[in-house]
Amino acid sequence: MRLKEGFKMNQFKKAEHLSYLEWMKKALKVQNYFFSMSMGLGAMLSVQLADASQQLGISNGIVLIPAQQQSSDLIVSAQSTPEAVITQYGEYLATQNIDKILELYDSEAEIIPDQLASLIGSKAILSFYQKTFSSIKIKGKLNITSVYKNNDIAIVRCEEPAQMTNLATGKTEQQYFREMLVLVKKQKKWWIYKYMFSKNNNS
């Protein structure tokens, strides 16, 4: 009797063990299925995100701007206010960068130097800076003293204590420049339209 009961118990335990193994196998199959699905979905999303990033110009979370657009945006920001234009002008003047200086002028601009004839238009202004930089070296800092702005017109007053060297003789003098610039706004940018200046030996 005990042997029969023992046999039945062993059979029950084997059946229970087999059921557990089958359940584990099924559970592993389900787990593997969902794992495969998640891997496939992840790969698909990665491809889609990569395509979207390429279209939007995004790399590692950084928006990539084409070089041409960057250059255009920089020009816009540099000429977004009258003060920005004059600050840029002062920097280009210090480095004698004629090309960059001319980019700040309106095509019909006029320079009105002290005791000299006015210069109107891009060609005349180009010639003025070429002759100036070939004869003298100016070392100074352009300081904005006041700004008046009304709609699309601005008047900027500047003063510039400078050291001016005659390149032919090597003689250096201390000069003080007083300057007034009239700027106009066209197509969301500010341009130098009139530039008047005078200089003397005393501040």
36-74 in b/e form (b: 16+ CB < 10 A) is eeeeeeeeeeeeeeeeeeeeeeeeeeeeeeeeeeeeeee
| Of 95 and 40, the one with more pLDDT | 95
Domain check: are 51 and 16 in the same one?
A: yes
Domain check: are 134 and 165 in the same one?
A: yes
Domain of residue 152, residue span: 71-200
Q: So what's the pLDDT on residue 173? A: 92
For every residue of 103-148, DSSP letters joined together read HTEEEEEEEEETTS--EESHHHHHHHHHHHHHHEEEEE--EEEEEE
- Answer yes or no: are the C-beta atoms of 168 and 182 closer than 8 Å: no
Domain check: are 34 and 59 in the same one?
A: yes
Which CATH number do you get for residue 123? 3.10.450.50
Quickly list H helices, the chain.
2-56, 67-78, 82-95, 98-103, 122-135
Domain check: are 133 and 34 in the same one?
A: no
- Going by DSSP bridges, is the β-strand pair 105-113/119-120 parallel, antiparallel, or unpaired? antiparallel
Domain check: are 37 and 101 in the same one?
A: no
The residue to which tokens 């359940």 are assigned: 23
Domain check: are 93 and 32 in the same one?
A: no
Domain check: are 113 and 190 in the same one?
A: yes
63, 87, 106: which is the final residue of a domain?
63
Distance, first Cα to last Cα, the chain: 127
Distance CA 5, CA 113 (A): 122
Domain check: are 113 and 157 in the same one?
A: yes
For residue 115, pLDDT beyond 50: yes
Q: So what's the pLDDT on residue 116? A: 87
Distance CA 188, CA 194 (A): 18
pTM of the model: 0.61
For residue 110, pLDDT beyond 90: yes
Domain check: are 112 and 169 in the same one?
A: yes
State how many domains the chain has.
Answer: 2
pLDDT in tens, 42-100: 555 455 545 555 654 544 544 444 444 444 444 445 678 999 999 999 999 999 999 99
pLDDT in tens, 132-172: 999 999 999 999 999 999 999 999 999 999 999 999 999 99
Domain check: are 48 and 84 in the same one?
A: no
Domain check: are 6 and 88 in the same one?
A: no
Distance CA 177, CA 143 (A): 10
| Of 8 and 119, the one with more pLDDT | 119
Domain check: are 99 and 185 in the same one?
A: yes
